[in-house]
Structure formats: C-alpha cells, structure tokens
Amino acid sequence: MPSFSSAERERITSRLRVVGAELFARQGLRKTTLEDLARPAGISKAGFYSFFDSKEALFLDLMLEQAEDIGSRLAAAATGPADAREGIAALLREIATVLDTNPLYRRLLANPEELRAVRARMGDAEVDRASRALLQPLSRFIESAQREGRIVSADPGAVLGVLRAALLPVLHRDELDPDAHTDTLDLLFRTIAVGLTAPEAENPVP
C-alpha cells in the first residue's frame, strides 16, 4: 500500500472530501466509483484505502463533518424567538435553507436508500452519531417546549415526524409554481406551527 507524508495525507484527505461531497450530491453513492473519487485526488484506487476504508466511510465522514454545525443552526433557529409558533416556523425555514444550500443532506433526505447503504456497510453506531448530532437539538427543543406547555403534548417522535414531512415540498420545488414557491412554503410552515402549538402557548408556564 502506498505511503504518504503528513502533508500529503492532509492535502489528499481534503481533496477526497471535496470531490466526494460533489460526486455524492450530484450522482449518488451507488453510481460513484472509487476511481471517480481517487483520480481527482491524484491517487490510485489502492491508495484510496490509505485514507478511507470504503466510499461509504467517506460518505459518513462528510455527514459527521457537517452534522454538528447543522444541528446547532437548527437549535438556534428554534429557540431564538420567544413565541413557540415563531420558533417552529423559524426552524422549518432554517431546515429549508439547509436543504437548498447543502446538496449532500438534500440528497440524503430525498434518497433514504443511500443512508441505508452507509448503515449496512458502516454499522448502526457510526451512522447514529451523525443522526444524534442533527436530531438531538430538535428533540430537546420539542421536549422542553412540551414541558412548558408551549406545543402540543403529542409523542415527540410524532412531532419530529411532522416537521420532517413539512419539508417534502422543498424537495419537490419543481412541481410548485415558481412564482409562488416562497409564499407557499411560508404559509405551510406557519400553518404547521399553528397546528403544533398548544392552546396555552401564548401564556407559557413561567
């Protein structure tokens, strides 16, 4: 197996991440080959294994690299407004922004079979690290808001499911009127926020 200096390893790892993020987002995990990844980084397919055990390992590395930052952004959006309805609407808008600006996570949400492929190769524990970084801030927001009586007291998993389902129009923007797309999403997010807000949300528990 080829040997690399520390400087070479740093440069090649960085290049593999850039190339991987671009290819995985554009053509997906299954269609991306080791040669597709290795050639732009200036290494052979055999050399690739000096950096990652598999293309799934590179995919997971990219997920983990971005997950904590995205999770923090979502938590900040949800907890920023004092009003629960505004917090939920702000959270949904921020998730929509992430999906519009982060092709890798957009593809993951639109193509869940790719995450299943990564899980099958890398194991549940590794993939769950990325999921926790993304979802724990949201779960904490939901549980805290429910304790304070600011949102409906449904199962937290069901509330999270509603938030995720609200994002489907973001993934299918081509099927919506482009002139009304922004207004459509804003109305949808506000409607969901009203539906998830408990009647006593305007007078939260001190």
Tokens (6 digits) for 29? 């995990």
**Nearest to 187, CA basis, from 81, 95, 93, 77:** 93
pLDDT digits (tens, 9 = 90+) for 144-183: 989 988 899 899 999 999 998 888 888 887 777 888 888 8
CA 35 to chain CA centroid, Å, is 27
- Continuous H helices in 32-82: 34-38, 45-48, 55-79
Backbone phi and psi for residue 2, each to the nearest 5 degrees, phi listed first: -60, 150
Whether 200 has a pLDDT exceeding 70, the answer reads no
**What is the band of 201 on the pLDDT scale with cuts at 50, 70, 90?**
very low
Take residue 44 and report the two structure tokens written for it.
């052979």
> Measured between alpha carbons, how far is 83 from 44 in angstroms, rounded to an integer?
55
78/151 Cα distance (integer angstroms): 12
Q: What's the maximum distance between 2 C-alpha atoms anywhere in the chain?
A: 65
Domains of the chain: 1-52 (1.10.10.60), 64-202 (1.10.357.10)
Amino acid at 57: A
Asked if residue 57 has pLDDT above 60, the reply is: yes
Please tell me the distance from the alpha carbon of residue 75 to that of residue 137, in angstroms, as a whole number.
Answer: 5
**Predicted TM-score (pTM) of this structure:** 0.80
Q: Which residues contact 116 (CB under 8 A, 6 or more apart)?
A: none
pLDDT of 94-141, one tens digit each?
999 998 899 998 888 888 899 899 999 999 998 888 888 888 888 888
